[in-house]
Amino acid sequence: MDKITHDDPLAHSAALISENVEALKSLFPEIVVEGKIDFEVLRQILGAQVDEREEKYGLNWHGKRKARQLALTPSTGTLRPCPEESVDWETTQNLMIEGDNLEVLKLLQKSYSGKVKLIYIDPPYNTGKDFVYPDNFQDNIKNYLELTGQVEGGAKITSNPESSGRFHTDWLNMMYPRLKLARNLMSPRGSIFISIDDNELANLKTICDDVFGPECYAGCVARVTGTPTGGGFRSLVNATDNILIYLKQPDVEIQGVSFGEDDAAIYDREDANGRYLIRSLRRTGGEDRREDRPSMYYGVSAPDGTVVFPLGPGGYESRWICGRDRFEEMTTEGLIEWQQVDRDGKLIWQVYQKFYLEGRLKQPSNLWDDLEGNKKATRSLKSLFDGEKVFILPTPINDTFPLHHIFGMI
């Protein structure tokens, strides 16, 4: 085995700044002057896309610039294999890394940049007791072991009390570079799930908009913890926490889940093509008037030749859910159903669209309330360790189950 020296490129994590500079040079070679980036030329090239206002919308805090630079600073740490502590070392396809997550994220950049389909993180919620991250990496492993309580002595360890004037600032400085590096690892079709409670939800949402882009925000899930307590806010019992979901690209599709038998019960009709339900072809709810979409107001022929127009309650001119061309396509595909209904003693024609059960998926909800909860996780872990409580605040295995269905990537 060849010995790797400190100066060897293999001993350093990816040089993200150099990669960014090279990307700019390839896109805009004219901005390079004597080997450096001329920002004035870059501003001229980008024109109106550069926001030069002194006051801009966004979240700023003391240390944000340093936190951004911290993500770009290469690491000289090394991942050391531990075959003696591993299971099936020669054949396993799994990898567990123990170390400070910022340093590990940097070390993963070379091998996994742009390749990770799904990232789930459960960061400190910043409750005042669960957060200790000074980011002093002069001795990385020692720092990690001390901060996580695996050794005693050395650096002073303190909590992050709410009385601290830097209460939110310290947490933001910890999270920001880690999110920047996590985004680099995500594949073009990748996604990231981040657990958080109300203490830092608003700040996390804002910095994620900064890192991933607001257009890549997929939603915020409310997860029922199964341990409602009086530890909420004011007089409200805190029975949920949250999962923020962001995508690498805004056009990533969120997969639906298969219908259970209870869900399928609404498909109460059947023909040669299978079970189906019907929904009115007329637009209902908001923006349902002719003036909202004039091209979707037109007459269609009922089975007896009667021309039917979309009319709302009281007779106002409404609109269909689609244009005429799409209506003709659905008719050809057998997705249109006509019925006569009694209205004030007179039979009139109503037109509906068919939705078949087979192959249909249900879009996931932003409320996950059918989970086992945290108590189940605590009991399960204690049963594995002879009744000893080894980990605090564990997440139950089945609580990650919705992630399997949403992206099918685990």
Q: Could you please report the per-residue DSSP string of 250-267?
A: TTPPPP-EEPPHHHHTT-
Q: Could you please report the per-residue DSSP string of 30-59?
A: GGEETTEE-HHHHHHHHGGGS---SS-SS-
Domains of the chain: 1-56 (no CATH), 65-81+93-256+388-407 (3.40.50), 274-356 (no CATH)
Greatest CA separation for the chain: 92
In the numeric block, which tokens belong to residue 268? 């109460």
363: exposed, middle or buried (C-beta count within 10 Å: 0-12, 13-18, 19+)? exposed
Residue by residue, pLDDT tens for the chain (410 residues) are: 456 565 665 556 666 667 777 777 777 777 777 777 777 777 777 776 666 666 667 788 888 888 888 888 888 778 888 999 899 999 998 888 888 888 889 989 888 999 999 999 988 888 776 555 554 444 455 554 554 455 555 544 455 666 666 778 888 988 999 999 999 999 999 999 999 988 899 999 999 999 999 999 999 999 887 766 655 555 677 788 899 999 999 888 776 666 666 778 888 899 999 999 999 999 998 889 999 999 999 999 999 999 999 999 888 999 999 999 999 999 999 999 999 998 888 899 999 999 998 877 667 788 887 766 666 667 777 777 777 776 666 666 655 445 544 444 33
- Please tell me whether residue 194 adopts helix, strand or coil conformation: strand
Q: For the whole model, what pTM was predicted?
A: 0.63
